[in-house]
Amino acid sequence: MRTIIEPFRIKMTEALPLTTREARAARLAFAHNNVFLLAAEDVTIDLLTDSGTGAMSDRQWAALMLGDESYAGSRSWRNFERVVRDITGFKHIFPTHQGRAAERILAATRLKAKEIVPNNSHFDTTRANIEYVGAQAVDLLTREGRDLYSEQRFKGDIDLFALERLIETEGAQKIPFCMITVTNNSGGGQPVSMQNIRDAKQLLKKHGVPLILDACRFAENAYFIKRHEAGWSDKSLIEIARAMFSFADGATMSAKKDGLANIGGFFGCHDDQWAEDFRNLLILTEGFPTYGGLAGRDLEAIAVGLMEALDEDYQRYRHATVDYLARRLMERGVPLVRPPGGHAVFIDAAAFCSHLSPRDYPGIGLVNALYLEGGVRAVELGSVMFGKARPGGDEEPAAHELVRLALPRRVYTQSHFDYVIEVIDAVWRTRDRIRPHHIVQQAPFLRHFTARFEAA
Ligand SMILES: *Cc1c(COP(=O)(O)O)cnc(C)c1O
């Protein structure tokens, strides 16, 4: 059959709010024109993030009931550990309450001020945790990866030439570990090839630098490798995932992505000293090493979710959904980052709003127009999120003005996406009416969450 259907049917429903344009205009004004400040009940289709927003399966809900809440040595922990070890092969595994907790403990135990951590692109919490201990987070994306419209397949690959140059100029002793993020969230959800992970490992090994995978979307990445990288088409997703992890000395993970859970994460590694240091701080800030800030039932749900994420029918449908949305928008001429990534579609807001300049915050104008048109919530990844203040009050714009439509896992059906396409199409046809925005109030850090805007 040519039609790729959702490989599940729906056993429980959650009503969607259907609102009028007048009501949305009032809600947006009340939220100071910042969709982060909207009440979720006022959003019809919420594409703000794919993090922790997925729907659990009946098997996950059943597993919740089997949660063993013993403080130490719980059965749920052993189920979790068995699954994570089966996929990753790590000797030491630690649950954490989410991905950034693993990052924070890793940074606190392994990094000193002035040291350097390269990555294809650091996710914002990873960067913040590295910078918090005074170390430096360096992005080494290839030239194709930085080109929004390049059709190359593995645009998440780390630039190996730049990595080698960095090691040679700074010295390997200044680089306690290197990271690779699969898929590359900050870079459009683009995949990393097995070849690139293997070559990076070989280069790093020569210099004695460990490799840590930021593995949040390891299963989506595995599917890209199966589909597009020579030599992997007849391997199962778990075999591909195991091969990816075989090149890593450790991994941080947010179970809110490919754990198909609403909360959770883990850290895994082989080295005994790394594990001991991690364990000591984990007990101090997260909890005993067999629960790490999670309930036993969460550990059960994650253990089931990790395996469901490696189900090929699920990944085929997931990738087909992103493709469906992207293809129909491209047919209408909407400028998108190419090719579509694993978890989101990114609109080039600068091209969409060609009548606006970066200092007009075109991403905010577009996000607000999508909300007003149909109650669709997206997020700006442009000069509000990444712009830098310059001395004198002027602002350095971000490299790109993007708007991300992130797809929660197993939540919306094809007709929901047809609706989203109709909303975007309507805004696209009237794009000249998207107005410039300016900031009237902002916080010194992570201002996008709370800033207040006015439309000119
Ligand atoms: C979400 C995410 C994180 C952080 O995980 P949380 O569970 O949100 O703390 C780290 N890296 C990447 C690539 C992510 O997408």
- For 147-196, write each residue's pLDDT tens digit: 999 999 999 999 999 999 999 999 999 999 999 999 998 878 999 999 99
Ligand 1 atom 5: residue of nearest CA:
99
Best probe residue, ligand 1, of 186, 190, 254 (max atoms within 8 Å of C-beta): 254
Please report the atom of ligand 1 found closest to the CA of residue 264. Answer: 7
Range 21-50+312-455: architecture per CATH: Alpha-Beta Complex (3.90)
Ligand 1 atom 12: residue of nearest CA:
123
Ligand 1 atom 4: residue of nearest CA:
99
- What is the pTM (predicted TM-score) of this model? 0.95
CA of 110 to the centre of ligand 1 (A): 19
- pLDDT for 130-153, tens place per residue? 999 999 999 999 999 999 999 999
Q: Looking up tokens 């951590």, which residue turns up?
A: 117
- Kindly list the strands in the beta sheet with 178-181, ordered across the sheet, starting from the edge strand earlier in the chain: 92-96, 265-269, 250-254, 211-214, 178-181
CA of 28 to the centre of ligand 1 (A): 28
Ligand 1 binding residues, C-beta < 6 A: 51, 98-100, 123, 125-126, 181, 185, 214, 216, 254, 256-257, 265
CA of 139 to the centre of ligand 1 (A): 16
CA of 122 to the centre of ligand 1 (A): 10
Q: Could you list the pLDDT tens digit for every one of the 456 residues in the chain?
A: 889 999 999 999 999 999 999 999 999 999 999 999 999 999 999 999 999 999 999 999 999 999 999 998 899 999 999 999 999 999 999 999 999 999 999 999 999 999 999 999 999 899 999 999 999 999 999 999 999 999 999 999 999 999 999 999 999 999 999 999 999 988 789 999 999 999 999 999 999 999 999 999 999 999 999 999 999 999 999 999 999 999 999 999 999 999 999 999 999 999 999 999 999 999 999 999 999 999 999 999 999 999 999 999 999 999 999 999 999 999 999 999 999 999 999 999 999 999 999 999 999 999 999 999 999 999 999 999 888 777 777 788 988 999 999 999 999 999 999 999 999 999 999 999 999 999 999 988 788 999 999 998
Give the residues across from 395 on adjacent strands: 389
CA of 100 to the centre of ligand 1 (A): 6
Ligand 1 atom 3: residue of nearest CA:
99
For residues 370 and 332, give the distance between their C-alpha atoms in angstroms, rounded to a whole number: 16
CA of 18 to the centre of ligand 1 (A): 31
Best probe residue, ligand 1, of 125, 218, 298 (max atoms within 8 Å of C-beta): 125
Residue whose C-alpha is closest to residue 267's, from 215, 191, 209, 232: 215
CA of 314 to the centre of ligand 1 (A): 21
Residue whose C-alpha is closest to residue 318's, from 410, 415, 448: 410
Q: Taking the domains of the chain in order of start, what are their residue ranges? A: 21-50+312-455, 58-309
As assigned by CATH, the class of the 58-309 domain is alpha beta
